[in-house]
Amino acid sequence: MPEGDTVHKLMVFLDTALRGRDVAGVRLHPALGPSRGTGRISAVVCQGKHLTFRFADGSELRSHLGLYGAWHRYRPGASWHKPARQASILIDAGDWLYVCFNARAAQWLCSGGPRAVDQQQRLGADLIAERIDPVGLLGRVAALPASSLLVDVLLDQHIAAGIGNVYKSEVLFLGGCHPWQTLGETPPATLLGLYRRAADLLQANLGGGRRQTRDPRDGCGRLWVYGRRGLPCLRCGQPIRRGLLGVRPRSTYWCPDCQGGDSQRPPATGRPA
């Protein structure tokens, strides 16, 4: 699933290409909603992982890539790299076709309408575009059970928007928190520290180049733990572990020594992998 920094960079590209453009049409996969004819795109914006096309007539097309979604750009008549049946959104800008394949969601909304406002309010603060409000963030967290695992809390876009699977593992490592740690075991200051670290990393990765959470000039890689199962921890040398953890099990990487030790942390959910 794309992280918030990836969606933000995609937003900048699409906004630069389409802001102020009159498009010949916008077609949605029939399972997602109706298509429409000509219209002018006034802006492309994002909140966390949600990408929204705003039109001059006040309508909005909100989309979410999910785990497998991706945007492509083609010249009219060019061959597509994916089958047409997987096209969720097609924006015909005349000289270019912008195609989103395999989106998790797409829907039309009325800008400023109750559904659009409700969806915006349901999302937590965008960690790239907004400053963290400690009171607001902790207030949202307080509605969760104390038994919630940090691996689930960090991926919950209703708490704060933008963190994906890579940053989840990386900020837990940098914060010294075991992935099986629960909210009830985590002081508020520690939790806020995880989100502030995530915000710093997301913002630092908005430029070009591959995502990194550490300085790779020592030849040891761009990431601390993600994708390094079985390799020595870059701090203590212990082998990095990987497990499928959480309510919706996702790959999680951690150091058993730097993050509290595995022996006293039986998994609340998930399984090793």
Give the residue numbers annotated as catalytic, written as ranges.
2-3, 49, 250
| Cα separations in angstroms, 61 against 32, 75, 172 | 11, 22, 34
Query: How many other CB atoms are found less than 10 A from the CB of residue 268?
Result: 17
**What type of residue is 230?**
G
Reduced to 3 states (helix: H, G, I; strand: E, B; else coil), residue 38 is coil
Return the structure tokens found at 66: 């999910």
Supply φ then ψ for residue 270, to 5 degrees: 90, -175
Nearest residue to 179 (alpha-carbon basis) of 103, 249, 75: 249
**Cβ proximity of 27 and 35 under 8 Å:** yes
Strand partners, 161: 126
Instruction: Identify the H or E element spanning 165.
Output: helix 165-174
Distance CA 114, CA 116 (A): 6
Residue whose structure tokens are 């096209």:
87
Distance CA 190, CA 155 (A): 16
Instruction: Identify the H or E element spanning 245.
Output: strand 241-245
Nearest residue to 108 (alpha-carbon basis) of 55, 64, 50, 62: 62
